[in-house]
Structure 1
Amino acid sequence: MSPTDSALLLVLYLACFAAVHSLMASLPFKRRAAKILGSRMDPWYPAIFAASAFVMIAPLVYLVYLFPGNILYVAPSPWRWAMVAGQVLAGLLSIRAFVDAPHRFKVPLQLSGPGASGAKALAPRGIYCWIRDPFLLSGFLIIWLTPFMTTNILILYAAVTVYLYLGSLHWERRLLAQFGDEYRSYQRRVPRMIPWRGRLSPEG
């Protein structure tokens, strides 16, 4: 397979993954799933969503292994280990993001909307007092701190960067549907990814 064909294959597979993943993350799809799963929506849907993402990503990783492309660079020590440490910290950041706002990921609350019975306030805390989308930041850090780079990985990472950013926009639309004006006010006071404004006070 030529380098152009292998790069195209990777991008096409990523596009297919993005389409399925985005569909499953959408509110209309979740509403349909809620009719099927009923009260079992939580925790089964998040588990199914995560498992399906893992299953779909595995072939992409294998394709990168088969068709890595030409080597562009390999970071020498100690920079290599500094980059890996940055990736580990980015992974911990994602875990912290789940811990700091578990109500953001509960599907019934996502579907109920602001003011509905059982709805919870936004109540930003922890990492969310600094940035709105820690998953966007951690995703960028994990991919771009990879201590080696090839042509196909570079093309794939560029496509993933676009997808992560578009996914962040989708995520914010979903949060607006869940929290309404409370989230609009939060958007004005807290940056999306870079904590350049400092920490939001709990009273803010």
Structure 2
Amino acid sequence: MIVFLYGLLAYAAFLVTIVYAVGFVSRIGVPKTIDTGPDTSAINALCINTLLMALFAIQHTGMARKWFKNRWARYVPNCIERSTYVLMASLCLMLLFWKWRPLPAVVWQVDDPDVFVMITTLSFIGWATVFASTFLIDHFELFGLRDVIANLRGLGIPAPQFKTPLYYKFVRHPIYLGFIIAFWAAPVMTIGHLLFAIVTTIYIFIGIFFEERDLLKQFGDQYGQYKRQVGMLIPRRKSG
């Protein structure tokens, strides 16, 4: 029961964080957004924001690697490994939201109301793609609930399965594609938002490199053939 409650706590932290992230990037409905916060010099803001994003990237990529999981397993039971990963990622994002420093100079701004609405809608389509894609594979596995529920029921943790439902038939990483759309579809783009979009996009490509390397080791030729047939971020499907 303690393990189950811990998993629920980690999942609740994820939900709060991802909902806040939507408002943070979109500048809607949250007390502190990507363009608000304490005033500081541009150099200080650039350094602080880059360090915050680097901290998240190191945690998010490092804890997902097999060598780290093997060492981590000495201290953390397998049933809460995923929940702990999710909780740590959420805490890193919360720190980023809290300590982010704005760089409010405008790079571009859309003044036409109709175009403004269109771009904002595109951004929310990106977020919707992220959420929908998690449910298409296994939302509760991704965020740790499956493992703690299995533990509560006295069952073993199911082995991961390779599947390509709906979006995944045409793009290998629809979650990352959704994030890129959400971050770049901005009717008002400030330097701070541009920094966030550039760094997170670079990180996405780095994350894809490591993730696909792990998937090739895990699923072998099955994933190799999928990789050859389906586009990474641009929807594409070859017959074969």
TM-score (ref. length: structure 1): 0.78
Q: CA deviation at 1:39?
A: 4.9
- Pick 1 or 2: higher relative contact order, CA cutoff 8 A, min separation 6: 1
Matched, 1:181 2:221: yes
Q: 1:141-189 CA deviation, whole Å, 9 max, x = no partner?
A: 0110123211222123211111111111111112112211110111111
2:23 maps to none
How far apart are 1:122 and its partner, in Å?
Answer: 1.9
Q: Which amino acid aligns with 1:171?
A: E
SS of aligned partner of 2:48: helix
Partner of residue 87, structure 2: 51
Equivalent in the alignment of 1:20: 59
> Is residue 91 from structure 1 mapped to residue 131 from structure 2 by the alignment?
no
- What value does the CA root-mean-square deviation take over the aligned residues? 2.8
Match of 1:2 in 2: 41
Percent identity, please: 24
Q: SS of 1:36's equivalent?
A: coil
Q: Summarize the Cα distance change of 1:32–1:178 in structure 2 as closer, same or farther, 3 Å threshold.
A: same
1:87-141 per-residue CA deviation (whole Å, 9 max, x = no partner) reads 2222221222222222984989xxxxxxxxx645523221110111112211110
SS at match of 2:107: strand
Q: Distance in 1 between matches of 2:53 and 2:92?
A: 9
**Partner AA of 1:135 in structure 2:** I
Check if 1:193 corresponds to 2:233. Answer: yes
- CA distance in 2 between counterparts of 1:135 and 1:88 reads 13
Counterpart CA distance in 2 for 1:37 and 1:6 is: 36
**Among residues 91, 100, 109, which one is paired with 1:74 in the alignment?**
109
In 2, Cα distance between the equivalents of 1:151 and 1:106?
32
Q: SS where residue 49 of structure 1 aligns?
A: helix
State whether structure 2 residue 138 is matched by structure 1 residue 102: yes
Distance 1:147 1:162 in 2: 21
Q: Which runs of 4+ in 1 moved over 6 A?
A: none
The 2-side partners of 1:180 and 1:89 are apart by 33
| Counterpart-to-counterpart distance in 2, 1:32 and 1:69 | 42
Contact 1:96 1:127 in 2 (8 A): no
The equivalent of 2:182 in structure 1 is 142
CA contact (8 A) 1:3 1:69 kept: no
Structure 1: runs of 5 or more not aligned: 109-117
Aligned pair partner of 1:11 in 50, 70, 80: 50
Query: Structure 1 residues 3 and 120, CA, compared in 2 at 3 Å: closer, same or farther?
Result: closer
* TM-score (norm. length: structure 2): 0.68
Gap runs ≥5 in structure 2? 1-39, 147-157
Question: Which deviates the most, 31-40 or 17-26?
Answer: 31-40
Match of 2:72 in 1: 33
Distance 2:132 2:119 in 1: 20
